[in-house]
Structure 1
Amino acid sequence: MTTETGPDSEVKKAQEEAPQQPEAAAAVTTPVTPAGQGHLEANSNEKHLPQQDTRPAEQSLDMEEKDYSEADGLSERTTPSKAQKSPQKIAKKYKSAICRVTLLDASEYECEVEKHGRGQVLFDLVCEHLNLLEKDYFGLTFCDADSQKNWLDPSKEIKKQIRSSPWNFAFTVKFYPPDPAQLTEDITRYYLCLQLRADIITGRLPCSFVTHALLGSYAVQAELGDYDAEEHVGNYVSELRFAPNQTRELEERIMELHKTYRGMTPGEAEIHFLENAKKLSMYGVDLHHAKDSEGIDIMLGVCANGLLIYRDRLRINRFAWPKILKISYKRSNFYIKIRPGEYEQFESTIGFKLPNHRSAKRLLPWMR
């Protein structure tokens, strides 16, 4: 075999390889040519810039799109239920209930509370609506299936305490301050006066004729202001309520006292009202029916000073809160553990029998 060398051989070799290059380029790329041009002519003497091969990129892009489409198809096949259920879950999470609260002035406040919300949420909404800052004296009550009043526990979910619907509540005073003059807000004294007026009208807070007239006159001064002969004519207090069995004699006495209060502001009238109301023996006392250890009917009175025992409307015993060590109940029995006295060595436990288990359980929140 002979090998040709020299310039002629190089030219011949270049001519043999030149047709292969366009074919290889055509196999790899398909460049876009301007209109009017046919095909590219290969010239071995010209230097061409290297052309990028876009086919692998297009293939990889197609593969990525295919992968994503397959992944999307897979997700659509495997997770349609999740996509449909998630809005329902969100809706359940924010389900709310309508709460209607009867306020101390007999008006109603309505609001929405999340069904899983606690009692504190509703109580805060009511206090915010009333612009009330001294919240500790107040609470919310509701009636159970037995029409018995229960306190709404702020630390528990509302739906676990009240079973019936709609959710109706009442905003009331829970703890009566021993000295109302220590209240700092006028609005707090105003709501306390409204509560005490309701207690007097319903007979929960018994009063004598003289006390009814005195408290009634202060209530008129706070509500109507100074007596005006042109405006206040005839029996101008007949539409106001002061006592369970209100008489014309009582109304006349109230008007006589009201005429002497000229210059007294509504705030001052409310303070005078509270100062006289707190002197009543049943001020701030909540009564519960019970029996003693001998089966005799008694009443348990819960107040700010302690636990009071009544028989035939007369107080027969009193246990101050510092003297009570423990409060408990078992079934329908209610127990208090008493601290030993000065000449006693051991603690003593006194039991009371209430009408049923719910009554015993219902008594605990009053003592917290």
Structure 2
Amino acid sequence: QGTEMEEKDYSETDGLSDKTTPSKTQKSPQKTTKKVKSALCRVTLLDASEYECEVEKHARGQVLFDMVCEHLNLLEKDYFGLTFCDSDSQKNWLDPSKEIKKQIRSKCLGRVHPPQPWGTLSPSAPSCRYYLCLQLRADIITGRLPCSFVTHALLGSYAVQAELGDYDAEEHVGNYVSELRFAPNQTRELEERIMELHKTYRGMTPGEAEIHFLENAKKLSMYGVDLHHAKDSEGIDIMLGVCANGLLIYRDRLRINRFAWPKILKISYKRSNFYIKIRPGEYEQFESTIGFKLPNHRSAKRLWKVCIEHHTFFRLVSPEPPPKGFLVMGSKFRYSGRTQA
């Protein structure tokens, strides 16, 4: 489950040497060679298959990501990315500007979840819609995206229609969906309900089934929410969720607060502390700053980067240009991809 890098040596001919020795007998021209080291990368894709490719040893993340997208025929690249696990087994997005060799383990995952996935994604890019569905199905099966029984059945039935096509009494006999996964704790009752719904979808194309799947998945309360463990000012365990609309606060799986992007004036971090500066309300005079405690400095920076990426992608018409000048304070990170706005 990840990227493994195996170094290889290749030789490149630079050309002929025109230098001679001081001796009377001139030596024959010698070829000079330069060893080029490459790395074999293995990436686990959303369908659990593996993709292998070779990249130059010091290649940056963008090179590998572009190769994976080309392999998958993925046109809408901005909705996807590669992840890797750090030494703390925490998930990080592969930085396209950094060398791959420092980011050994990686997976191909959906990076951001569009609020209107069926209308945002290009109709000419069915592969993008397909992989977004795979990502959501994986999130549902592992429990990262909680669903009710009714929603599990509905989404499962659309997944079956997209995968198996129309119900065929001769081909689909008995419990023909038992080999497919739809929920963390899948029951026979759920499978029977999925089969009942599947039989009613005659004539629905796989593409239409995927659109219906996305249309219903986006209604889930945790759809597109990237969760991060934290503590509030009183030391109580909470979860901070980053999504298209802003920053969400959860305690015991219940949302207790929400800060929309327009309400947030500034996002920052210092050591393991993460801060948001809030715009004053209608009856307030001053701005307020709210702080949260993250497990460590890397976690705080990771959350800060995710917030920057989400805010830029969903709110701005174009990414902000990097600051100019020799001396620049703070992090150099800037989101450089397209935006949805």
Q: State the TM-score, normalizing by the size of structure 2.
A: 0.75
Structure 1 residues 253 and 157 mapped into 2: Cα distance closer, same or farther (>3 Å)?
Answer: same
Q: Secondary structure at the match of 2:256?
A: strand
1:288 is aligned to: 228
TM-superposition CA deviations, 1:28-50 (whole Å, max 9, x none): xxxxxxxxxxxxxxxxxxxxxxx
Question: By how many angstroms is 1:141 displaced?
Answer: 0.4
Question: By how many angstroms is 1:252 displaced?
Answer: 0.4
Counterpart contact for 2:13–2:33, Cα < 8 Å: no
Compare CA radii of gyration and give the structure with the larger one.
1
Sequence identity (%)? 91
Question: By how many angstroms is 1:90 displaced?
Answer: 8.6
Question: By how many angstroms is 1:184 displaced?
Answer: 5.3
TM-superposition CA deviations, 1:101-158 (whole Å, max 9, x none): 1111111101111122111111101101111110100000011222111111112222
Counterpart contact for 2:140–2:147, Cα < 8 Å: yes
Counterpart contact for 2:232–2:293, Cα < 8 Å: yes
Structure 1 residues 146 and 83 mapped into 2: Cα distance closer, same or farther (>3 Å)?
Answer: farther
Question: By how many angstroms is 1:100 displaced?
Answer: 0.8
TM-superposition CA deviations, 1:168-206 (whole Å, max 9, x none): xxxxxx1000001x7652211111110100000000000
Structure 1 residues 333 and 233 mapped into 2: Cα distance closer, same or farther (>3 Å)?
Answer: same
Question: By how many angstroms is 1:325 displaced?
Answer: 2.4
Listed as ranges, the matches of 1:222-241 within 5 Å are 222-241=162-181
Q: Counterparts of 1:65 and 1:313 in 2: how far apart (Å)? A: 45
Q: Counterparts of 1:157 and 1:212 in 2: how far apart (Å)? A: 40
Q: Counterparts of 2:3 and 2:166 in 1: how far apart (Å)? A: 90
Q: Secondary structure at the match of 1:128?
A: helix
How many pairs does the alignment contain? 295
Structure 1 residues 70 and 175 mapped into 2: Cα distance closer, same or farther (>3 Å)?
Answer: closer
Q: Counterparts of 1:66 and 1:248 in 2: how far apart (Å)? A: 50
Structure 1 residues 265 and 293 mapped into 2: Cα distance closer, same or farther (>3 Å)?
Answer: same
Q: Counterparts of 1:77 and 1:125 in 2: how far apart (Å)? A: 41
Is 1:259 matched with 2:199?
A: yes
Is 1:72 matched with 2:9?
A: no
Structure 1 residues 317 and 75 mapped into 2: Cα distance closer, same or farther (>3 Å)?
Answer: closer
TM-superposition CA deviations, 1:52-89 (whole Å, max 9, x none): xxxxxxx9999999999999999999989999999999
Question: By how many angstroms is 1:294 displaced?
Answer: 0.9
Question: By how many angstroms is 1:214 displaced?
Answer: 0.5
RMSD: 11.2
Whose helix fraction is larger, Structure 1's or Structure 2's?
A: 1
Q: Counterparts of 1:344 and 1:245 in 2: how far apart (Å)? A: 48
Structure 1 residues 86 and 150 mapped into 2: Cα distance closer, same or farther (>3 Å)?
Answer: farther
TM-superposition CA deviations, 1:277-297 (whole Å, max 9, x none): 000000011111100011111
Counterpart contact for 2:227–2:239, Cα < 8 Å: yes
Is 1:81 matched with 2:23?
A: yes
Q: Counterparts of 2:51 and 2:260 in 1: how far apart (Å)? A: 37
Q: Counterparts of 1:108 and 1:120 in 2: how far apart (Å)? A: 18
Q: Which runs of 5+ in 1 are unaligned?
A: 1-58, 166-173, 363-368
Match among 108, 114, 118 for residue 177 of structure 1: 114
Structure 1 residues 250 and 256 mapped into 2: Cα distance closer, same or farther (>3 Å)?
Answer: same
Counterpart contact for 2:272–2:295, Cα < 8 Å: yes
1:274 is aligned to: 214
Structure 1 residues 200 and 66 mapped into 2: Cα distance closer, same or farther (>3 Å)?
Answer: closer
Q: State the TM-score, normalizing by the size of structure 1.
A: 0.70
Structure 1 residues 334 and 60 mapped into 2: Cα distance closer, same or farther (>3 Å)?
Answer: closer
Counterpart contact for 2:10–2:35, Cα < 8 Å: no
Q: Secondary structure at the match of 1:264?
A: coil
Structure 1 residues 73 and 119 mapped into 2: Cα distance closer, same or farther (>3 Å)?
Answer: closer
Structure 1 residues 119 and 74 mapped into 2: Cα distance closer, same or farther (>3 Å)?
Answer: closer
Question: By how many angstroms is 1:255 displaced?
Answer: 0.5
Structure 1 residues 83 and 232 mapped into 2: Cα distance closer, same or farther (>3 Å)?
Answer: farther
TM-superposition CA deviations, 1:306-361 (whole Å, max 9, x none): 11000111111111122222222111111112223333333222110011122112
Q: Secondary structure at the match of 1:213?
A: helix
Whose strand fraction is larger, Structure 1's or Structure 2's?
A: 2
Structure 1 residues 265 and 89 mapped into 2: Cα distance closer, same or farther (>3 Å)?
Answer: farther
Structure 1 residues 329 and 76 mapped into 2: Cα distance closer, same or farther (>3 Å)?
Answer: same
Q: Secondary structure at the match of 1:83?
A: coil
Q: Counterparts of 2:3 and 2:87 in 1: how far apart (Å)? A: 70
Q: Counterparts of 2:226 and 2:113 in 1: how far apart (Å)? A: 10
Structure 1 residues 88 and 245 mapped into 2: Cα distance closer, same or farther (>3 Å)?
Answer: farther
Question: By how many angstroms is 1:261 displaced?
Answer: 0.6
Structure 1 residues 76 and 234 mapped into 2: Cα distance closer, same or farther (>3 Å)?
Answer: closer
Structure 1 residues 144 and 133 mapped into 2: Cα distance closer, same or farther (>3 Å)?
Answer: same
